[in-house]
Structure 1
């Protein structure tokens, strides 16, 4: 796995990566994909929207539903229309989110150069803090 992150992990609830005990998640920088199967009864005359509500740190989420790219959300409330992709019954959702390099740089700060995941000329300042990261939600499906 790139940048020290795990190949795969299952979260019971949506969590800020920087609050996880695993170093590979706490200091992870890059892209991560969330997957979820869900069942929905779809009414034909309604429009459906997926609302993510909170995405950190960069705040960009790319969304696929049932194998179809439905959009990219980058401003609150991180909402995309899913009417053309949502199925009556079982659905498969994938949400890819990204964060900045700051957390990985902070994680590498105290390591021996041979153990670092990054190399940079940027001076990592002691006052830099981890930036909240990940899909924080709540994730909701809304209709109108």
Structure 2
């Protein structure tokens, strides 16, 4: 398996891109990992995550907790669009996405908070969605 936070970003992005309600407002190329501000809006950005290796499991497996933030960006006058995107994201991520090469043993329901734009010169709607998962994978020999 690749590094746990990247693995989680990959399956979350795939779940979002696979959902018509999300794609109704956000182009697939605007759903990406990277810095927190999206250049192309509306956009969804998966920010770098925090990983805590929790230890070993049976059969040569490793267990880690991954905490990540997903940021929803739209122009300020598009608040209805921002809320529609947020609703779709929350619905998609209600349950853990399917992993490939790893298992998600624990998945917290997403938490959403609306935040003011950190750049006063900009006028963007900004929603932050907190994600938490416990991943388990077998170490390749």
TM-score by length of 1: 0.31
Q: Which has the higher contact order (CA 8 A, sep 6+)?
A: 1
**Between Structure 1 and Structure 2, which shows a larger proportion of strand residues?**
2
**Between Structure 1 and Structure 2, which shows a larger proportion of helix residues?**
2
- Structure of higher CA gyration radius: 1
